[in-house]
Structure 1
Amino acid sequence: MTVNMMTSKDVTKMIFNKEELFILDVRNESDFKDWKIEGQNFTYLNIPYFDLLDGVEQILSDIPTDKEILVVCAKEGSSVMVADMLSEAGQTVSYLQGGMKAWSEHLEPVKLGNLKDGGEIYQFVRIGKGCLSYMVVSNGEAALIDATRMTDIYLQFASDIGANITHVFDTHLHADHISGGRIIAEQTNATYWLPPKDAAEVTFTFAPLENGNAVKIGDTAIDIHALYSPGHTIGSTSFVVDDSYLLSGDILFIDSIGRPDLAGMAEDWVGDLRDSLYKRYKQLSEELVVLPAHFMVIEELNDDGSVAEKLGLLYEKNHGLQIKDENEFRKLVTENLPPQPNAYQEIRQTNMGKLNPDEEKQREMEIGPNRCAVR
């Protein structure tokens, strides 16, 4: 039988299309339990590679014959070896190119829609980490929002569609992933915008993103209005784009809300979080399409792979928006938090410009699932 190679893009398309896939994950059990490739119709078997060094005969009865089979490991090498053994045993299998390292870094662009006066808005789905970033394009100019550290992907995409990146925004100082915003701004001579209340300790220059800012992209009437919405961080800022889209950062997700504790200020910021969700956002049009900076579970993806929902519908269905009692809300948000993101303090310091880790160290800091929400 043959061994095929499957790319992260191939697997992403299978997730978007809700296809079936059987994944043999040969990482350690603890790594698998912490973070794995998720698909609505994916099934799994986790057997550490070192348990298969003497052969794969013990697991052949657990490998289905009616599904595509993908072998996954951390960096690729172990999965190639196991896939070869399965092939010699008569199975047709694939291995994941680049392993979970590549999976963590894959970005899939999805077009969300056209803007009123010309132009488009795109979402970049970082499928392995749950991160979402955005590009607003008008008349050859582009604004980038909440970019990841995989800067080349955004630069190439802008080049392919004939746009120059003129503005780069971070909705807040990120703690779960390293921002690519500052590097992209330097490489393109774009203006880099940060909420000043999150930027008190940064070591570089930036444009202060404050309530009432309106930034024009191209020469059409596309304004990005900044809406101060603290809670996840003290500076968290949302954007209303084209009177149609609400970029909510890490304040509001599809079925959860942002956590206020990643700077050690949960008790202080939980009131701000509630005000942003239950008062500030309530003043906005329910027809706005909410575009968050993260998704939590694969079920939040729409049929086209996008993560988006109207604000009015979220007020009906989002669990974090149904807690009428303020004390109950405070208790939920401060006492029921998932584990902190890996290396989140180092990530915050990197995003402040205080640390400058090399690329391999940055990968290591980001390994693991997204943990920005109250679940």
Structure 2
Amino acid sequence: MPKVMTAHQLAKKIMNQEEIFILDLRKREEFEKWKIEGVHVTYRNEPYAEIIDNVEKLEGKIAKEQEIVVVCAKGSGSTNLVGKLEKIGFKDVYDFKGGMKAWSEHLEPVKIGDLKDGGSLYQFVRLGKGCLSYFIESNGEAAVVDPVRMTDVFEAFAKEKNVTIKHTIDTHLHADHISGGRKLAEKVGGIYHLPPKDATEVTFDYTPLEEGNDITVGNTTVSVEPLYSPGHTIGSTSLIVDGKYLLTGDILFVKSIGRPDLAGMAEDWVGDLRETLYSRYKALSDDLMVLPAHFSFIEELSKDGSVSAHLGDLYKENSGLQVEDETAFRKLVTDDLPPQPNAYQEIRQTNMGKMDPELEKQREMESGPNRCAIEA
């Protein structure tokens, strides 16, 4: 029976910055678009169809003594290949359970910190997609910010912490992944919050997320203060939690800034993006810890696997915040943009409630990396 490595086990290795070697069996074009990444991850792409009948060709290319994690799209091809590799003397080979489909959907919780009047803030890291969700718990209640569609993970975490999810919050209408905010709120009987300027076409009821309408979680002074910060979308709204944490959605990342074009409004929204980054955020405390909704580069993960940075440090180090000339900034965020996320228009329609795809279709729509950032 082949040895198996789960998404959770691999995630822990990557977040602990361990050395990992991955043999990826997908087609070359799929591998080039999207792969498992880590600070000390190395990999070799050998398409399954090209080696399955001649695994001996890998001898001399891959050291037989090293630990090897074999990955395919859904997990079936890797199981077959692992057995063949073991037969020709590879010593420490693992079948990656569920393949890239499982990797895309795995969430790993990391504690960010305690809140001053009791409770804690957690970040859920979706390593395979670069999505970041947040779980705020205090005095038996919880709020989940930018939840992804795998809502059972948040329900299980709430049960483990013995808290009730009272609020789900989307900082904006997402275009790179399917939100679990409305679904989760319906399942737990909570309140779903969405910025009204992003909700003009939605087909469901929601509670407006607007500046000045604080949200209380628990009986302590844990508050979420919406801060209107357009640019990535016209409704993008940041959250200040406990006076210490700034949840920026897709406006500001650790090593990049948000893109304004995913609703076809780049020229119209670039001014809003600049106003948010160079004026609204600039007026906030440098001591705020920035917690974004995505990361694009594995180097953004800290040693504990979380993604964060202090606002003051980003104004010194994030190149997207260093473009003083307005014309140069406009050119940066409207010219030579990276490819748009896979099926982003369908994802937006789904998040508006206009589509309700089957699960396999949702997985297909979300395949590949997030592409919400502009690297300056």
TM-score range (shorter-chain normalised) is over 0.9
User: In 2, Cα distance between the equivalents of 1:61 and 1:3?
Assistant: 22
**Deviations along 1:215-241, whole A, 9 cap, x unmatched?**
111110111000000000000000000
How far apart in 2 are the matches of 1:136 and 1:348? 26
Q: Which residue of 1 aligns with 2:51?
A: 52
Q: Could you tell me which residue of structure 1 aligns to residue 80 of structure 2? A: 81
Contact preservation (8 Å) 1:257, 1:374:
yes
Is this contact kept in 2: 1:285–1:311, CA < 8 A?
Answer: yes
The letter for the 1-side match of 2:372 is C
SS at match of 1:184: helix
Task: Please say if residues 287 and 312 of structure 2, whose CA atoms lie closer than 8 Å, have aligned partners that are also in contact.
Answer: yes
Partner of 2:20: 21
Per the TM alignment, residue 326 of structure 1 is displaced from its structure 2 partner at its CA by 0.5
**Alpha-carbon displacement from aligned partner over 1:104-160 (angstroms, at most 9, x marks no partner):** 000000010000000100000001000000011100000010000000000000011
Of residues 341-350 and 17-26 in structure 1, the stretch that sits farther from structure 2 once superposed is 17-26
CA distance in 2, matches of 1:134, 1:64: 40
- In the TM superposition, 1:1-375 aligns within 5 A as 3-91=2-90, 92-375=92-375
Partners in 2 of 1:299 and 1:65 — Cα distance?
29
CA offsets per residue over residues 231-253 of structure 1, 9 Å max, x none? Answer: 00000000000000000000000
CA contact (8 A) 1:20 1:67 kept: no
Q: For residue 17 of structure 1, report the CA deviation from its aligned partner.
A: 1.2
Aligned 8 A contact 2:337 2:374 in 1:
yes
Deviation of the 1:66 alpha carbon:
4.8
Q: TM-score, normalised by structure 2?
A: 0.98
Task: Flag structure 2 segments of 5+ consecutive residues without an equivalent.
Answer: none
The offset of 1:297, in angstroms, is 0.8
Separation in structure 2 between the aligned mates of residue 316 and residue 264 of structure 1, nearest angstrom: 31
Contact 1:21 1:67 survives alignment (8 Å): no
- In the alignment, is the contact (CA less than 8 A) between 1:55 and 1:85 conserved in 2? no
Post-superposition CA distance 1:175-220 (Å, at most 9, x none): 0000000011001111100000000000000001111111111110
Write the distance in 1 (CA, Å) between the matches of 2:336 and 2:245: 30
How big is the shift at 1:274?
Answer: 0.4
How many residue pairs get matched? 374
Cα drift, residue 79 of structure 1? 0.7
In structure 1, C-alpha distance between the alignment counterparts of 2:63 and 2:233, rounded to whole Å: 46
Identity of aligned residues (%): 61
Write the distance in 2 (CA, Å) between the matches of 1:241 and 1:218.
13
Indicate conservation of the 8 Å contact 1:109/1:124, yes or no. Answer: yes
Amino acid at match of 2:47: P
Partners of 1:290 and 1:64 in 2: CA distance: 42
Shift of 1:64: 2.0
Secondary structure of 1:168's match? Answer: strand
Contact kept in structure 2, 1:290 and 1:308, CA below 8 Å:
yes
* Cα distance between partner residues in 2 of 1:47 and 1:216: 52
Report the aligned-residue RMSD.
Answer: 0.8
Letter aligned with residue 312 of structure 1: G
| Cα separation, 2, equivalents of 1:190 and 1:53 | 50
- Segments of structure 1 that go 5 or more residues without pairing to the other structure are none
SS in structure 2 at match of 1:240: strand
- Structure 1 residue 53: deviation in Å? 2.6
Q: Distance in 1 between matches of 2:65 and 2:232?
A: 45
How many angstroms apart in 2 are the aligned matches of 1:224 and 1:42? 37
Counterpart of 1:321, as a letter, is L
Q: Distance in 2 between matches of 1:283 and 1:298?
A: 29
The amino acid across from 2:249 in the alignment is: G
Q: Could you tell me whether the CA contact under 8 Å between 1:146 and 1:170 is conserved in 2?
A: yes
Does the Cα contact within 8 Å between 2:64 and 2:89 map onto a contact in 1?
A: no
Partner Cα separation in structure 1 for residue 143 and residue 323 of structure 2: 35
Counterpart of 1:250, as a letter, is D
1:155 maps to a residue whose letter is: E
C-alpha distance in 2 between matches for 1:19 and 1:66: 17
Deviations 1:265-323 (A, max 9, x none): 00000000000000000010000000000011111001100001100001000110011
CA contact (8 A) 2:135 2:142 kept: yes
Q: Which amino acid aligns with 2:317?
A: K
CA distance in 2, matches of 1:149, 1:54: 38
